Amino acid sequence: MAAPQRLFDIRRVIGGLFVVYGLILAVTGLLDSAQEIQKAEGIRINLWTGIAMLVVGGAFLLWERLRPSDGPTSSNASASSGEKE
Amino acid sequence: MPDAPLLAAQDLRLDVNVLDYVILALYFLVVLGIGFAAKRAVRTSLDFFLSGRALPAWITGLAFMSANLGATEVLGMAANGAQYGAMTLHYYWIGAVPAMVFLGVVMMPFYYRSKVHSVPEFMRRRFNGATQLLNAGTFAVAQILIAGINLYALALIMDAMLGWPLWLSIIVSAAIVLAYITLGGLSSAIYNEVMQFFVIVAGLVPVVIIGLTRVGGFSGLGEKVKQSVLGKGGLHTWAHTAGTDNPLNANWIGLVFGLGFVLSFGYWTTNFAEVQRALSARNTNAARLTPIVAAYPKLVIPIVTVIPGLIAVVLFGDLGKDGGPTYNEAIPLLMNEFLPNGVLGVAVTGLLASFMAGMAANISGFNTVFTQDIWKAHVNGDHPDEWYVRLGRIATVVGVLAGIGTAFIAAGFGNIMNYLQSLFSFFNAPLFATFIIGLFWRRMTAWAGFWGLLSGTVCAFASYILYKAGVFDFGTELNASFWGAGIAFVVDAVVSVVVTLATTPKPESELRGLVYGLSDASVSDDALAGDAAWYRSPVILGAGVVVLAAAFYLPFL
């Protein structure tokens, strides 16, 4: 149970999703036509949202890298699948 | 597009393209992928229902917060922002924060340490089987009605994207939700809940930024709200609440006692869809921190709900009027107006995911209570564990089907938040009265629990019917729900006291760990290293968020 827990740490999932979304939006934002920019009141909203999502996603991935789910969690997780102490 | 597009309800069409669908598809691939992986790790029914009591406070806190950010929040609070203006902020501050802190500081130890799996089970241990059955029954009905609201909201968005008729959207949405719950169970529901929270924020923040740019920033928005149908009252929360000359037609007694105390404490402290998130925490301290961690983001959620509501009322002159779009459509209208493809996909994904998470939470709440508190406790409790997991799956299907029916009820309300608040006044307010008296008054008897709960529920319902029939004049539907909640609370309390005095109390040995002041010595201390730090103290963090909530009111007095 500890292995999937690490693989599916929510921070990795959100971080990964946001990085992918961020890339898609940032590229779209760079290619946006004048019409799309005008729709958003002159703001390159795809580009800015993309950059913001990249930053947030990166932060989640970094957090997960620096503090992989702390000790007590994983020991409790393995206990809960068997007998609870 | 002109400044005030005159869109009729049926005409709202979100201009999605392939890019948006790719973003949407990516999301659901991830969620279902987690569902599959989680399913392999789920073995026992406890795992299925409570995700194995292993999660740290920051995950359960976000899950708690996100379980609340469903259709109710996003469409409903924006609808309220448009209809009632800044007074909607009460739902976030006085109407949420104190109750969330109270839940964490005072009540959570009782829930968590008694190892109950649900609120009705707690009612059985504190009172008796009849109280459990009554509570489980009303809870099951409430969850199905609320699931209908989520399903309706989901269908509304699908309708706006694809142009399908509402009934078809509702049925297809129900099929998608069903597939998603059966594939994943609660473990993936928790992931989806947390993810949708971030995605929806990522989708709504651009709406707010562009919207504020259009109306000339906060000051421009303020000026324009003053000139709108809301008038000056639309910018204040407490002004003119000595009388009822304010957008909500509510006075401060209704706000403080009805909303701030009964409705809000009733909702936050007994709503199992949310309390269940805290029961998945790894120890008592993490469980207590769960609602408090959630209270901090709750403070600032109005930026993406109430503010868009105000922007919508300023931009769309016919919002909420006859022939115009309903208040429920404030957010989709703004998305359509401002967002180019790309960000639009993110916002649509966030909304769809949010409604699915909301409905999944209702259905899994229904599922737990039906299987454990109705069937296992009162019909037949002798089957092996797997039998109940299977029954839970059947209950899920039945719950989703029933939700299709209640979605059509929800479709009859122009503002789903009003409908939802009425439901809370029937179901949560009396439950809170019974709960809180039973917790602090150890003499309260088993049958007092039952009769108090029953009479409170009936009276709240009666008050709503009399308001609808024109006998009671509460001004607005929301104010009616404040008063209904207040009435339910008082009636429940009075009946509980009277019945208690006429019946014999339970012996103290049966109440250990269930009432205040009688701790259960057999439960060991489960504190972890580091729990003593100030940043993991429920009391300090709780006090902090209450002070912040009070400070947030200052610009909107």
Residue of B29, B51, B198, B279 to mutate for A, most A C-beta atoms under 10 A: B198
HEC string of B4-69 equals CCCCCHHHCCCCCCHHHHHHHHHHHHHHHHHHHHHHHHCCCHHHHHHHHHCECHHHHHHHHHHHHC
- List CB contacts of B73: < 8 A, sequence separation 6 or more: B301, B305, B354
Per domain, the residue ranges of chain A are 7-69
For A14, name the nearest residue in chain B, comparing CA atoms only: B195
- Where are the extended beta strands (E) located within B43-157? none
Q: Report CB contact under 8 Å: A17, B199.
A: yes
Nearest Cα to B78, choosing from B417, B323, B414?
A: B417
Give the distance from residue B369's alpha carbon to the nearest chain A alpha carbon, in angstroms.
22
Q: Which residues of chain B does A52 touch, with a Cβ-Cβ cutoff of 8 Å?
A: 202, 205
Q: Which residues of chain A does B212 touch, with a Cβ-Cβ cutoff of 8 Å?
A: none
Assigned token pair, B301: 């959620």
A21-54 burial, b for 16+ CB within 10 Å, e for fewer?
A: bbebbbebbeebeeebbebbbebbbbbbbbebbb
Confidence tier at A69 by pLDDT (50, 70, 90): low
State how far the Cα of B243 lies from the Cα of B250, in Å rounded to an integer.
8
Q: Report CB contact under 8 Å: A21, B54.
A: no
Which of the 8 DSSP states describes residue B398? H
Q: Does B528 touch chain A (CB under 8 A)?
A: yes
Please report which helix (H) or strand (E) contains residue B159, including its range.
helix B129-162
**Three-state secondary-structure class, residue B114:** coil
Assigned token pair, B456: 């409170």
Give the distance from residue B19's alpha carbon to the nearest chain A alpha carbon, in angstroms.
9
Nearest Cα to B221, choosing from B345, B314, B100?
A: B314
Assigned token pair, B505: 């109390």
CB B177 within 8 A of CB B50: no
Q: Does B88 touch chain A (CB under 8 A)?
A: no
pLDDT recorded at residue A66: 86
pLDDT recorded at residue A76: 39
What residues does B55 pair with on adjacent strands? B281
CA dihedral B61, B298, B20, B6 (to 10 degrees): 160
State how far the Cα of B483 lies from the Cα of A36, in Å rounded to an integer.
48
CB B59 within 8 A of CB B276: no
State how far the Cα of B139 lies from the Cα of B141, in Å rounded to an integer.
5
- List CB contacts of B11: < 8 A, sequence separation 6 or more: none
Assigned token pair, B551: 């400070």
State how far the Cα of B411 lies from the Cα of B229, in Å rounded to an integer.
25
pLDDT recorded at residue B48: 46
Q: Report CB contact under 8 Å: A72, B191.
A: no
Residue of A5, A10, A30, A44 to mutate for B, most B C-beta atoms under 10 A: A10
Q: Does B529 touch chain A (CB under 8 A)?
A: yes
Give the distance from residue B103's alpha carbon to the nearest chain A alpha carbon, in angstroms.
23
The partner residue sitting opposite A45, judged by closest CB among B38, B41, B340, is B340
pLDDT recorded at residue B390: 83
Give the rounded distance of the alpha carbon of B94 from its chain centre.
15
Q: Report CB contact under 8 Å: A49, B53.
A: no
Q: What is the DSSP string of chain A?
A: -HHHHHHT-HHHHHHHHHHHHHHHHHHHHHH--HHHHHHTTT--HHHHHHHHHHHHHHHHHHHHHHS-S-HHHHHHHHHHHS---
State how far the Cα of B372 lies from the Cα of B381, in Å rounded to an integer.
9
Q: What is the DSSP string of B279-296?
A: HTBSSHHHHHHHHHHHHH
Q: Which amino acid is at B309?
A: G
Q: What is the widest separation between alpha-carbon atoms in chain B? A: 71
In terms of phi and psi (left: phi > 0; alpha: psi -120 to 50; beta: otherwise), the region of B25 is alpha
CA dihedral B424, B430, B432, B434 (to 10 degrees): -160
Q: Report CB contact under 8 Å: B37, A40.
A: no
Q: Report CB contact under 8 Å: B37, A17.
A: no
CB B344 within 8 A of CB B21: no
Q: Does B220 touch chain A (CB under 8 A)?
A: no
Q: Which residues of chain A does B186 touch, with a Cβ-Cβ cutoff of 8 Å?
A: none
Q: Does B532 touch chain A (CB under 8 A)?
A: no
pLDDT recorded at residue B447: 92
B244 burial via Cβ count (<10 Å: 0-12, 13-18, 19+)? middle
**Three-state secondary-structure class, residue B55:** strand
Q: What is the widest separation between alpha-carbon atoms in chain A? A: 63
Assigned token pair, B552: 């947030």
State how far the Cα of B232 lies from the Cα of B556, in Å rounded to an integer.
11
pLDDT recorded at residue B22: 93
Give the distance from residue B448's alpha carbon to the nearest chain A alpha carbon, in angstroms.
35
CB B201 within 8 A of CB B66: no
Assigned token pair, B121: 């089970």
Q: Which residues of chain B does A44 touch, with a Cβ-Cβ cutoff of 8 Å?
A: none
- List CB contacts of B428: < 8 A, sequence separation 6 or more: B142, B263, B266, B267, B270, B271, B485
Q: Report CB contact under 8 Å: B206, A49.
A: yes
Give the distance from residue B252's alpha carbon to the nearest chain A alpha carbon, in angstroms.
40
Q: Which amino acid is at B454?
A: L
Residue B491: HSE in the Cβ half-sphere, 13 Å Cα cutoff: 24
The partner residue sitting opposite A45, judged by closest CB among B47, B210, B214, is B210
Task: Please give the backbone phi and psi of residue A42, each rounded to the nearest 5 degrees, phi first.
Answer: 80, 5
State how far the Cα of A68 lies from the Cα of A77, in Å rounded to an integer.
14
pLDDT recorded at residue B49: 46
CA distances from residue B294 to B202, B309, B556 in whole angstroms, order as listed: 18, 23, 23
pLDDT recorded at residue A3: 44
Give the torsion sign (CA, B341, B342, B345, B350): negative
For B343, name the nearest residue in chain A, comparing CA atoms only: A46
Q: Report CB contact under 8 Å: B209, A45.
A: yes
Long-range contacts of B461-467 (CB under 8 A, 24+ apart): B461/B426, B463/B425, B463/B487, B463/B488, B464/B422, B464/B425, B464/B426
pLDDT along chain B (557 residues), means of 10: 39 81 89 72 50 72 79 80 84 88 89 82 90 92 90 84 83 84 67 83 92 87 79 74 71 76 84 79 87 90 90 84 79 89 91 83 84 86 82 88 92 79 84 90 91 93 86 78 87 94 86 78 68 81 87 80
Q: Does B47 touch chain A (CB under 8 A)?
A: yes
- List CB contacts of B379: < 8 A, sequence separation 6 or more: none
Confidence tier at A26 by pLDDT (50, 70, 90): very high
Q: Does B55 touch chain A (CB under 8 A)?
A: yes
Assigned token pair, A23: 């890339």
Residue of B53, B284, B343 to mutate for A, most A C-beta atoms under 10 A: B343
Residue of A5, A7, A12, A14 to mutate for B, most B C-beta atoms under 10 A: A14
Task: Please give the backbone phi and psi of residue B362, each rounded to the nearest 5 degrees, phi first.
Answer: -60, -45
Give the distance from residue A65's alpha carbon to the nearest chain B alpha carbon, in angstroms.
17
Q: How many CB pairs under 8 A join A and B?
A: 116
The partner residue sitting opposite B30, judged by closest CB among A13, A52, A56, is A13
The partner residue sitting opposite B53, judged by closest CB among A24, A69, A80, is A80
Q: Does B41 touch chain A (CB under 8 A)?
A: yes
CB B79 within 8 A of CB B417: yes
Q: Which amino acid is at B50?
A: L
The partner residue sitting opposite A43, judged by closest CB among B34, B213, B283, is B213
Q: Report CB contact under 8 Å: A69, B22.
A: no
Residue of A32, A38, A49 to mutate for B, most B C-beta atoms under 10 A: A49
Q: Which of residues B363 and A21 earns the better pLDDT score?
A: A21
Q: Which amino acid is at A12?
A: R
pTM of the model: 0.82
